[in-house]
Amino acid sequence: MAAASSSLVDCFSRSYREAREKFLAAASRCNLAVASEINPAGLGVDGEPLATDAVEVGPSSAESVLVLTSGTHGVEGFCGSACQIALLRDDILRRRLDECGVAVLLVHALNPWGFSHSARTNEDGIDLNRNFLDFPVEASGPDGYAVLHPLLVPDHWPPSDANEAELQRRLDAGGLPMRQAMVGGQGSHPDGLFYSGAGPSWSNRTIRALLRRHGTHRKRLAWIDLHSGLGPSGHGEKIFGSTMWGPEATARALAWYGRDLVRSSSPRSVTPHTQGYIGMSAPRECPQAEYTFMTLEFGTVPFDEATRALRGEIWLRSHPDAASDLRQSIRTAVRRSFYVEEDFWKGQVLGQFRSVALQAVHGLSTLA
């Protein structure tokens, strides 16, 4: 069994390039056809092409499909990619798909630029999980984010003690609404955090096309979008947007995933309410399907540490001439905030992922 545990850890990769190679090799071993979309933003940090790769596993005639996406937030692909590779290498789980009559669409590295460059945002500084809006979006009045922007992205990095103290003071004084304004998505500052963009990004268009290709002929569609960064280290929080999807879908998700499903409207959720998140796209592209969307978020480091890393990432975009050691330290901080390179964490991730994937497959199955 020692070989089994080391091969599980081997599902994780040290770079986007390695992750893609492992994903393609695992798909090839299963004789799966891969559809690759090349991102036109250029090459990755290792000179590699940047691509989103998709494969469908399970019976092609299935009336139900489970969509599994990784790397919506670039660097978080280290976590999600490993889950997908583990599924492809898991002969028992894949046999279960045939037994249950469920297909699985694996979409690897939806934001390959961010994955390769250790960034949460994409090639245009967009937070992909805020980009699924009806463009153009009219500004609805003063933007709460604008107040915080100069403090979040100061002129110099690392920020001064005075900057940190003032930011903390503003956040404390503003309470939950101010934190919501900070992270919920904003369209006013392209050089800021959680920027929603001014139109559909390349990744947005890519996932929509994949949904049409694999979802429009299905009766049921479930989607698990894999993330890392929020919550206690190694804990996989099952997040469900109950206010968005209504009571029927909420009851269905609770029946599938269990009582530890966390509604995003709940104060105990690790995630804030966000505008334009990726799950909004499926009902538009596959309106015929009964739809169940969930975010699976694996915890890494404390929230403030992750936020500081993101501030550095965004600062770096406006300072391309930053010294190479500063640039490297910012990239490293982002990577460490969204990917815990310890075997124990990796084991927690894959164990919980397998359980949740099976819950979704059984939920989608029409078998009694």
Residues that bind Zn ion (CB under 5 A): 73, 76, 227
Q: 225: which 2 tokens?
A: 């979008």
Nearer CB in complex with Zn ion: 120/252: 120
Q: 327: which 2 tokens?
A: 């640039």
165 φ, ψ (degrees, to nearest 5) = -65, -40
The least CB distance from residue 19 to Zn ion, in Å, is: 16
The least CB distance from residue 64 to Zn ion, in Å, is: 26
The rounded Cα 171 to chain-centroid distance in angstroms is 26
- The dihedral through the CA atoms of 168, 174, 176, 182 has a sign that is negative
Run of H or E including 69: strand 64-69
Nearest to 69 by CA among 201, 222, 242, 234: 222
Rounded Cα distance between 70 and 228, Å, is 10
Nearer CB in complex with Zn ion: 76/237: 76
The least CB distance from residue 76 to Zn ion, in Å, is: 5
Nearest to 336 by CA among 300, 284, 311: 300
The least CB distance from residue 101 to Zn ion, in Å, is: 31
Rounded Cα distance between 28 and 9, Å, is 20
Nearer CB in complex with Zn ion: 56/313: 313
The least CB distance from residue 74 to Zn ion, in Å, is: 9
Nearer CB in complex with Zn ion: 73/346: 73
Nearer CB in complex with Zn ion: 27/345: 345
The least CB distance from residue 338 to Zn ion, in Å, is: 8
Nearer CB in complex with Zn ion: 39/274: 274
**Beta strands 220-233; 64-69: pairing state:** parallel
